[in-house]
Amino acid sequence: MKSEITISELAKLMNVSVHQIRYFEEKGVLWPAYTDNNQYRMYDIEQVYQLSHILLLRKLGVSVQSINDCMTSYSADQYRQLLHHSLREVDAELLRLKELQHFIKKVLHEQQNFNSQSNHYQIKRRDTTYFARWIEMDSHNKLNAKLLAEQAKRVPNLFESDIHYISDGSSTITLCLETQGPGDFSLPGGNYLSMQSLIHEDDELEQMIEQLYDYAATQSYTITGPLILIERSYLSLFSKNGLHYELQFLIESAAKGEPS
């Protein structure tokens, strides 16, 4: 009985395709022990070891061409370096996935939050938050693609963030993105009157703002900060023809009878 195996047996043994084994041969990294009279490639235990090494190096991101060099000339130390490099890549990928996981959780949470609280007025407690200035815009201008394209370098994955439109009453609106540490400026912590809703037409937004001011008046809230409009465009996944906005401003409650 022969000790060698055919290409399909080797393929099954190593969980790869027959094609792939021949491809490795074409690239000069794995040769059969010998070729049988019928032109069939025959492989022995030595090729099994070799193939497992090749597959490991492929997993580490080494190209088939480089595998040639590796297996013929690499020192133990060079392999250590290679492994270290590969480890860093895996760490980076892991970080990428963690961030994606975090984003998915955030979207789920925000969507839940929106369903339960849309079109209700609320008081929200906010800690001090920091922002980076992104675009300065005139209040009657609309955000357009050109404007975005000119600024695109400054922010990756644009519509996965909460975009804050901050209006201090003057004619310019500042578009901002929240930052973790101190950025261009900050909003003070405190109680914010808040309302969120789904907007289909531009004028609905104006109405929404008016409604919130009216409500604040009836409740005798004193507005002490700028108007903050938060756009969560990723939530439009759930309701195709609208944009999700939250409106906020800092209030002092006159009803609580604070001195002066």
Comparison of 24 and 114: residue with beta carbon closer to DNA: 24
Q: Where are the beta strands (DSSP E) in 129-206?
A: 129-138, 163-167, 172-179, 185-187, 190-199
Comparison of 30 and 177: residue with beta carbon closer to DNA: 30
Interface positions with DNA (CB under 7 A): 6-9, 17-20, 22-23, 27, 39-41, 58, 63-65
Task: Show the 3-state SS of the chain.
Answer: CCCCEEHHHHHHHHCCCHHHHHHHHHCCCCCCCEECCCCCEEECHHHHHHHHHHHHHHHCCCCHHHHHHHHHHCCHHHHHHHHHHHHHHHHHHHHHHHHHHHHHHHHHHHHHHHHHHCCCEEEEEECCEEEEEEEEEECCCCCCHHHHHHHHHHCCCHHHCCEEEEECCCCEEEEEEEECCCCCEEECCEEEEEEEEEECCHHHHHHHHHHHHHHHHHCCEEECCCEEEEECHHHHHCCCCCEEEEEEEEEEEHHHCCCC
Three-point CA angle 222, 226, 228, nearest 5°? 110
Least distance to DNA, CB of residue 239, Å = 33
Least distance to DNA, CB of residue 62, Å = 8
Comparison of 20 and 86: residue with beta carbon closer to DNA: 20
Comparison of 33 and 223: residue with beta carbon closer to DNA: 33
Least distance to DNA, CB of residue 35, Å = 7
Least distance to DNA, CB of residue 4, Å = 11
Least distance to DNA, CB of residue 86, Å = 15
Least distance to DNA, CB of residue 97, Å = 22
Comparison of 9 and 184: residue with beta carbon closer to DNA: 9
190 torsion bin: left (phi>0), alpha (psi -120 to 50), beta (else): left
Least distance to DNA, CB of residue 14, Å = 12
Comparison of 1 and 145: residue with beta carbon closer to DNA: 1
Comparison of 29 and 135: residue with beta carbon closer to DNA: 29
